[in-house]
């Protein structure tokens, strides 16, 4: 075996002892300037993607379809090779190592279970091709099936399993050879909502218990938030931003990342001026002040009349049933168009009919002096206001739906 | 209404489907040209009790003919498989439009008359044929070889005719096998060969079985090729039967036909048992 880890048989002395498996550590992964080109140079599937993933970390590559997230996974798995760049595993260059010698566990979107083998045979397969001793195989597979709670189903064929069970078999099959890295391509995509949330929890617990480095690919931002230590948001083959779910939510680097997580109000405008503390933006809804610290603008973009986008989360907007005071900062006078109840909170849609613009506020339900069709003041604090350069791509919608 | 709806479903079970009358002409035609002759053949073969069969079993000619038929059929089937399987494995890995083009080429061979193709082989393999000319001119042999009217020429002709059947049968079963599974097997640590042998091959066995059975059964009853390309020492059962009918030995001809069918059926069933096809099909069905 070319694996940097000791052989399977040596490491699982007592398969039933969960405590013992804790000492195992996942591998460190370095992606260095990965570039992948399709269609004779026309399409950059990946454009200079670099990232460092620390041992035992759960990292999600998130993005719309075609963003290149699956390409990252395929390069990691050795199913594709980059035009430029390197993949390092524990500091060792594995860029051109074929998949069967990378010792990574890949969970495919459609699970890729072998239909002619039982659950047990599917899980024994990786050990059999490694010529592991038959007794060890039985012990290991039994233990792993126990871990994913499928001991009773060893004799079944994949066709006889539910989606969630298939998914667990797919994971169990990769766990038997104790890979240092687990790669997962939308493994929960085919499951219904309740089961998906349940599996997210199981997946996270399993990953933390085993200490394996996990690289996950999804287009579902809620799933990414729930599972990940860090998220890499991808668009057009590039990593737009990589950070913890909290960072991405609170301090997005650009309007794309801002719009990708949760809901966000976007108000287009232009720079009116700036001083040491604040940036002043003119919008059609009125002047808006943004703290210099939070402004994601290059110094060149501070020039007057630079098109920018102001962004504020609905839950940072408060609503009062009055027209704003003339000198109030970041207070917009709008007409309440609609009040939507969402359990613990209510959404208030404020609209400016002359400009056809809308701002959404998420407020506690006791704000019951607000009436539909009446004017109200929508206020947000300077420290909760973000501003981005307006990208060359189309403007995000005023409110991002979930 | 209520009473009718309770009774109606039970009555409907015994009623013939509507419009069954339109099927009658076809049923009569198919019945009279397939079922009736088969029944007649079986009846004639047992016309004198078991006498026809006793006579057949005692004649050495029958046994040697049966053996030659089986040997030629098995050899042709194996050759078709060895040529057809890699071909189908390759073309099913292409894009669907490309795969279709290859299949079209395979089907095209059906457009050429079998007789024409057999005579083509006689020209190619003859003493002054292209193969012998080539062999002599490059000095590999001193004088032309006898390539015709022996077992090799029969098998060449059979494979030429039967290969498209094998390819179409294999294609039907192999086109649905997920190639992603062999990739998955490789990520799990299997070499390319292990992935093929343990993941792809087992899933293709039902197609291999179906194709082999089809080709084998066609081969056992095949007449044109063995009679035109075979030699006097290579008489197959089909040729034997033709001789018998020529001499109006109906008893001998029909009883060998029944025996050939019986051998095919027994082989089919025992292969089925051996391969455990039910299990295979059951597992592959998703």
Q: Is A136 exposed, middle or buried (0-12, 13-18, 19+ CB in 10 A)?
A: middle
Contact list in A for residue B203 (CB cut-off 8 A) is 115-116
Residue B274 clears pLDDT 80, i.e. is over it:
no
pLDDT tops 80 at residue A221: yes
Contact B187 A173 (CB under 8 A): no
B199 and A114 within 8 Å at the Cβ level: the answer is yes
Rounded to the nearest integer, the mean pLDDT of chain B is 86
Displacement of CA B21 from its chain's centroid (Å): 35
Across the interface, do A129 and B202 touch by the CB < 8 Å criterion?
A: no
């390197």: which residue's tokens?
A86
Residue of A nearest to B283 (CA): A116
pLDDT for A111 beyond 50: yes
Confidence band, pLDDT 50/70/90 cuts, at residue A30: very high
Chain A residue with the nearest C-alpha to that of B285:
A159
Q: What tens digit of pLDDT does each residue of B95-108 get?
A: 889 999 999 999 88
What percentage of residues in chain A have a pLDDT greater than 70?
88
Region B67-90: mean pLDDT is: 95
A160 touches B at CB < 8 Å: no
**Higher per-residue pLDDT: A1 or B123:** B123
Distance, in Å, from the CA atom of B96 to the CA atom of B93, rounded to the nearest integer, reads 9
Closest partner CB to B181 (pick from A112, A130, A159): A112
Burial zone of A356 (CB within 10 Å; 0-12 exposed, 13-18 middle, 19+ buried): exposed
CB B187 within 8 A of CB B107: no
How far, in Å, CA of A207 to CA of A227, rounded? 10
A103 Cβ under 8 Å from any chain B Cβ: yes
Query: pLDDT category, A241, cuts 50, 70, 90?
Result: very high
Q: Which two tokens stand for residue B6?
A: 């309770």
Residues of chain A with CATH 2.40.50.100: 263-386
Average pLDDT, chain A: 84
Q: How confident is the model at residue A41 (pLDDT cuts 50, 70, 90)?
A: low
The C-alpha atoms of residue A126 and residue A124 are separated, in whole angstroms, by: 6
Query: What's the token pair of residue B110?
Result: 């059906």
Contact A125 B190 (CB under 8 A): yes
> Mean pLDDT lowest for which of A38-42, A68-72, A242-246, B27-31?
A38-42
DSSP E strand stretches across A247-353 = 265-274, 278-283, 286-291, 295-296, 307-312, 318-320, 331-342, 345-352
All residues of chain A having their beta carbon less than 8 Å from the beta carbon of residue B280 are 116
In the prediction, which pLDDT does A274 show? 84
CA separation for the pair A362, A350 (Å, rounded): 11
pLDDT at residue A220 greater than cutoff 60? yes
Sheet holding A307-312: strands in order across?
Answer: A286-291, A278-283, A265-274, A307-312, A386-389, A295-296
Token pair, residue A343, equals: 């359990």
Nearest to A231 by CA among A388, A47, A51, A95: A51
Chain B: residue whose CA lies nearest to A112:
B181
Average pLDDT over residues A312-336: 84
Chain B residue closest to A106 (CA)? B187
Give the least confident one: A152-156, A194-198, B122-126, B191-195. A194-198
pLDDT at A329: 84
Residue A88: pLDDT band (50, 70, 90) is very high
A321 CB-near residues (< 8 Å, 6+ apart) = A369, A370, A371, A374, A376
Sheet holding A43-53, edge to edge: A43-53, A29-38, A84-89, A92-93
pLDDT given for residue B278 in this prediction: 53
Instruction: Determine the CATH number of domain A263-386.
Output: 2.40.50.100
B49 at the A interface (CB within 8 A)? no
* Average pLDDT rounded to a whole number, residues B252-260: 91
Residue A13 binned pLDDT confidence (cut-offs 50, 70, 90): very low
Q: Which helix (H) or strand (E) holds A33?
A: strand A29-38
Long-range contacts, B97-105 (Cβ 8 Å, 24+): B99/B175, B103/B167, B103/B168, B103/B171
Say if residue B16 is exposed, middle or buried (CB neighbours under 10 Å; 0-12, 13-18, 19+).
exposed
pLDDT confidence of residue B275: 67
| Residue pLDDT, tens place only, A342-354 | 888 889 999 988 8
Return the percent helix, strand and coil in chain A, to nearest 5. 30, 35, 40
Q: Does A190 touch chain B (CB under 8 A)?
A: no
Give the mean model confidence (pLDDT) for residues B118-129. Answer: 89
Span B121-137, mean pLDDT?
Answer: 89
Task: Measure the CA–CA gap between A308 and A311, rounded to whole angstroms.
Answer: 10
Mean pLDDT of B219-237: 87
The pLDDT value given to residue A77: 93
Kindly tell me if the per-residue pLDDT of B280 is higher than 70. Answer: no
Query: What DSSP line would sit under chain B, residue for residue?
Result: -HHHHHHHHHHHTTSPPTTGGGGHHHHHHHIIIIIHHHHHHHHHHTTTTTHHHHHHHH-HHHHHHHHHHHHHHHHHHHHHHHHHHHHHHHHTTS-HHHHHHHHHHHHHGGGS-HHHHHHHHHHHHSTTSHHHHHHHHTTS-SS----SSSHHHHHHHHHHHHHHHHHHHHHHHHTTS-THHHHHHHHTT--HHHHIIIIIHHHHHHHHHHHHHHHHHHHHT--HHHHHH--GGG--HHHHHHHHHHTT-HHHHHHHHHHHHHHHHHHHHHHHHHHTHHHHHHHH--
Considering only the beta carbons, identify the residue of A112, A115, A129 that sits closest to B284. A115
Q: Give the side-chain half-sphere CA count within 13 A for A360.
A: 20
Residue A198 per-residue DSSP state: H
Q: Is A144 on the interface with B (CB under 8 A)?
A: no
Angstroms from B102 CA to nearest CA on chain A: 25
Closest by CA position to A77, among listed B184, B94, B148 = B184
| pLDDT value at A367 more than 90 | no
Q: Mutation test of the interface with chain A: which of B174, B180, B184, B194, choosing the one with the most A Cβ atoms within 10 A?
A: B184
Q: What value does the mean pLDDT take over residues A17-42?
A: 71
More confident residue, B134 or B14: B134
Strand duo A230-235 + A84-89: pairing: unpaired
In this prediction, residue B129 carries a pLDDT of 87
Closest CB from B184, B194, B202 relative to A112: B184
* pLDDT greater at residue A90 or residue B18: A90
Q: What torsion, rounded to 10 degrees, do the Cα atoms B187, B188, B191, B196 define?
A: -90
All CATH 3.40.50.300 domain ranges in chain A, comma separated: 29-251
Integer Cα distance of A244 and A226 in angstroms? 11
Instruction: Give the DSSP letter of residue A370.
Output: -
d(CA B116, CA B155): 17
B198 touches chain A (CB under 8 A): yes
As a CATH number, domain A29-251 is 3.40.50.300
Judged on CB neighbours under 10 Å (0-12, 13-18, 19+), A251 is middle
Question: How is residue B190 written in tokens?
Answer: 């299997």
* Chain B interface disruption, residue of A112, A137, A140, A158, most B CBs within 10 A: A112
CB contact under 8 A, A157 and B186: no
Q: Residue A99: helix, strand or coil by DSSP?
A: helix
């Amino acid at each position: 075996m070319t694996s940097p880890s000791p052989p399977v048989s040596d490491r699982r002395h007592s398969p039933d002892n969960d405590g013992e498996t804790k000492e195992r550590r996942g591998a460190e992964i370095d992606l260095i300037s990965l570039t992948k080109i399709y269609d004779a140079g026309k399409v950059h599937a990946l454009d200079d993607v670099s990232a460092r993933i620390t041992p035992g970390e759960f990292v999600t590559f998130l993005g719309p379809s075609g963003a290149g997230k699956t390409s990252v996974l395929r390069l990691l798995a050795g199913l594709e090779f980059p035009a430029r760049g390197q993949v390092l595993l524990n500091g060792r260059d594995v860029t051109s190592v074929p998949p069967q010698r990378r010792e990574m566990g890949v969970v495919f979107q459609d699970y890729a279970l072998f239909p002619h083998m039982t659950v047990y045979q599917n899980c024994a397969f990786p050990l059999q091709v490694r010529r592991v001793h038959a007794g060890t195989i039985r012990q290991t597979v039994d233990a792993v099936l126990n871990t994913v709670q499928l001991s009773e189903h060893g004799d079944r064929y994949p066709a006889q399993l539910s989606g969630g069970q298939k998914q667990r078999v797919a994971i169990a099959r990769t766990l038997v050879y104790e890979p240092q890295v687990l790669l997962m391509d939308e493994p929960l995509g085919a499951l219904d909502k309740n089961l998906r949330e349940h599996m997210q929890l199981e997946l996270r617990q399993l990953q933390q218990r085993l200490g394996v480095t996990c690289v996950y690919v999804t287009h579902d931002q809620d799933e990414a938030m729930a599972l990940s230590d860090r998220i890499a948001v991808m668009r057009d083959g590039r990593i737009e931003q990589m950070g913890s779910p909290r960072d991405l939510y609170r301090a997005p680097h650009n309007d794309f990342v801002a719009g990708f997580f949760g809901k966000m109000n976007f108000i287009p405008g232009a720079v009116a001026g700036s001083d040491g503390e604040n940036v002043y933006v003119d919008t059609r809804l009125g002047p808006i002040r943004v703290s210099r610290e939070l402004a994601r603008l290059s110094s060149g973009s501070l020039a007057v009349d630079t098109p920018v986008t102001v962004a504020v989360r609905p839950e940072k907007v408060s609503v009062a049933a009055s027209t704003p005071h003339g000198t109030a900062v970041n207070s917009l006078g709008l007409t309440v168009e609609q009040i939507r109840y969402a359990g613990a909170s209510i959404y208030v849609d404020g609209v400016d009919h002359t400009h056809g613009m809308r701002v959404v506020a998420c407020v506690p339900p006791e704000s019951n002096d607000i009436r539909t069709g009446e004017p109200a003041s929508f206020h947000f604090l300077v420290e909760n206001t973000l501003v981005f350069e307006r990208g060359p791509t189309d403007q995000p919608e005023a409110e991002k739906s979930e | 209404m209520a009473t009718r709806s309770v009774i109606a479903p039970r009555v409907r079970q015994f009623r013939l489907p509507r419009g069954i009358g339109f099927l009658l002409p076809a049923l009569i035609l198919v019945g009279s040209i397939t079922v009736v002759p088969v029944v007649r053949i079986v009846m004639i073969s047992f016309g004198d009790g078991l006498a026809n069969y006793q006579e057949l079993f005692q004649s050495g000619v029958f046994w040697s003919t049966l053996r030659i038929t089986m040997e030629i059929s098995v050899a042709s089937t194996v050759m078709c498989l060895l040529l057809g399987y890699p071909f189908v494995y390759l073309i099913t890995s292409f894009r669907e439009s490309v795969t279709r083009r290859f299949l079209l080429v395979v089907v095209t061979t059906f457009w050429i008359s079998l007789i024409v193709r057999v005579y083509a082989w006689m020209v190619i393999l003859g003493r002054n044929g292209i193969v012998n000319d080539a062999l002599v001119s490059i000095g590999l042999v001193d004088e032309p070889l006898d390539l015709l009217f022996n077992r090799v020429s029969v098998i060449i002709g059979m494979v030429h005719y039967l290969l498209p059947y094998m390819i179409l049968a294999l294609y039907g079963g192999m086109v649905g096998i997920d190639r992603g599974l062999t990739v998955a097997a490789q990520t799990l640590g299997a070499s390319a060969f292990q992935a093929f042998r343990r993941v792809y091959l087992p899933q293709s066995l039902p197609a291999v079985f179906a194709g082999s059975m089809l080709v084998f059964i066609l081969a056992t009853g095949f007449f044109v090729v063995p009679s035109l390309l075979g030699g006097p020492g290579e008489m197959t059962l089909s040729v034997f039967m033709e001789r018998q009918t020529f001499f109006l030995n109906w008893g001998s001809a029909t009883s060998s036909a029944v025996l050939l069918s019986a051998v095919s059926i027994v082989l089919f069933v025992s292969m089925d048992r051996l391969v455990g096809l039910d299990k295979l099909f059951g597992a592959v069905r998703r």
